[in-house]
A = this chain, B = another copy of it.
Amino acid sequence: MVKRTSFEKAECPIARSLEAIGDWWSLLIIRDAFLGKRRFSEFEKSLGIAKNILTARLRSLVDHGILQSVPASDGAAHMEYVLTPKGHGVFPVLVALRQWTEEFGGRKVSTVLVDRKSDRPVRKLELRAQDKRLLDYRDTLVRPRA
């Protein structure tokens, strides 16, 4: 096989997620969608992506059920791309990436994710056990499902 290897059938859930959102542009498109962008030209301008690539990525995201293409809200003829529930589910991934850069990226990051109500920065993502103990990577283990 000379094709790019696919992770569709992978057992590992991380590999499977990469199948859908693991390329250069998909996560940035999703990020923009969270920022309220919905039109082809909005993504194009914001990302500086080539149109053919954008077409391909949008189609792939729609095929994966992450975006949905709906008739334009303003009645125009074109379609708009909005996040599905599955797409909204990517949010923690984006937050994790953002926080990783904030913590280890060196240069200061120019934007902050804030809580709408208080207008103050959010806390770091927390991984907890059933009994709510805060967990670290050292506290966890990957197990075959029973």
What residues make up the interface of A, taking CB atoms closer than 8 Å to B? 4-5, 11-18, 22-24, 27-28, 31, 34-35, 48-49, 65, 85-86, 88-105, 108-133, 135-145
Q: Majority SS of interface residues in chain A? A: mixed
Q: Which residues of B contact A137 (CB under 8 A)?
A: 34, 88, 91
Q: Which residues of B contact A132 (CB under 8 A)?
A: 123
Q: Which residues of B contact A135 (CB under 8 A)?
A: 115, 122
- In the complex, the answer to whether B27 meets A18 with C-beta atoms within 8 Å is yes
Inter-chain CA distance A23–B12, complex, in Å, is 17
Residue of B nearest to A108 (CB): B145
- In the complex, the answer to whether A123 meets B115 with C-beta atoms within 8 Å is no
Q: Which of B31, B96, B97 contacts A125 (CB 8 A)?
A: B96
Inter-chain CA distance A41–B4, complex, in Å, is 21
Other 20 A-B pairs with CB < 8 A, given A11-B111, A12-B111, A92-B127: A5-B24, A5-B49, A13-B105, A13-B109, A17-B98, A22-B24, A65-B104, A95-B96, A108-B145, A112-B143, A112-B144, A115-B140, A116-B138, A116-B141, A117-B133, A120-B130, A122-B140, A123-B127, A123-B129, A125-B125
